Amino acid sequence: MIRATLHEQEIRRAIGAPGDGDRVVDGVATLDTVEDCCLFFVNYKVVPAAVRGSLATRRGCIAIAPKGFTLDSDCVVIESSDPRAAISRVLGFIRAERRQPPLVTARVIAPSAVISPLAVIEGDVEIGDDVLIEPFCMIGPDVRIGRGSIIRSGVRLHPRVTIGEESVIHANSVLGHDGYGFVRDEKGNKTRMPHLGGVIIGAHVAIGPLASVAAGTIVPTIVEDYAKLGDYVCVGHNVRIEKNASLTAHIILAGHSVIATEAWVGVNASIGEGRRVGAHALVGMDVSVQSDLPDHAIARAPRPDVKPRPDDDDLMGIGFAGRS
């Protein structure tokens, strides 16, 4: 949940929704985060019964929902033709008005931390004992790095990134940037959705060179303890990588996907948006996961079609004969 005190009239002004009301909420939450006194949005055309039942138990909330949506609770419903675009405007308001409390409230750098003079440490950060930060890194503001962690050359840690103890972020990786999430404005053009959820990296995590871990939108993107990510791994917003999971190299995890405990994902694999790879599952090289994999499953890509070139094939040609 994003902690940010919001008045109903501020929300209505941000999204262009007329109406009276003076409800105040404590922040913005997702549908699967059971919180009272929060703002959330409903983007379903037909709301599942389980979701509607969960929403009915909440108190003191405001819901941005499609036109005609009703809710059997005391929650205030603000109708919108595009609830996702509306919540994006509210997140933009929170960012512009600096309503979100900082993750770090004072600059604290342990005396035993080793920081290259060629690194840039901006604003309030917490850097623990025996941390090593190599040249050309850009850290902060609002970043926390735990004891004994190593930040290799060229790493960029954006605001609201937390790294646990004894983790290693290898060269030129980027953590905590706005993910690939866009909405349409009033003219139909794509505009970026603010990502305020940040990133939480656990303890004893390894992230390879040139990896990227996008910030979550409303909840953080999470990499749990002892997870290992190889080179060029792209982690989308709101992804959760659970304890001891292994991601080899050149892997794409689309937004909201989950890699469960002890799962292993092979080279060049891709995991679709919102898909879950079960605990102890094995995903082979080049697999595209488009549906959830149960625990202990094995997914392999089709084998290539291999056959000899014909005798009359022009061996001086380039590529396949007859290509356009």
* DSSP-assigned letters across all residues of 277-318: EPTT-EE-TT-EE-S-B-TT-EE-PPPP---PPPTTS-TTS-
- For residues 238 and 273, the answer to whether their CB atoms sit within 8 Å is no
Superfamily holding 2-97: MurE/MurF, N-terminal domain (3.40.1390.10)
The helix, strand and coil proportions of the chain, stated in percent and rounded to the nearest 5, come to 10, 30, 60
Average pLDDT for 105-130: 98
> pLDDT tier at 46 (50, 70, 90 boundaries)?
confident
Model confidence, pTM? 0.93
3-state secondary structure of 51: helix
User: Does 257 have pLDDT greater than 60?
Assistant: yes
Q: How high is the pLDDT of residue 69?
A: 85
> pLDDT tier at 297 (50, 70, 90 boundaries)?
very high
The tokens describing 2, both together, are 């994003």
> pLDDT tier at 277 (50, 70, 90 boundaries)?
very high
> pLDDT tier at 186 (50, 70, 90 boundaries)?
confident
User: Does 119 have pLDDT greater than 70?
Assistant: yes
What is the C-alpha to C-alpha distance for residues 39 and 182, in angstroms, rounded to an integer? 20
Map out the domains of the chain as residue ranges.
2-97
User: Does 315 have pLDDT greater than 70?
Assistant: no
Total H helices, total E strands in the chain: 3, 35
> pLDDT tier at 32 (50, 70, 90 boundaries)?
confident
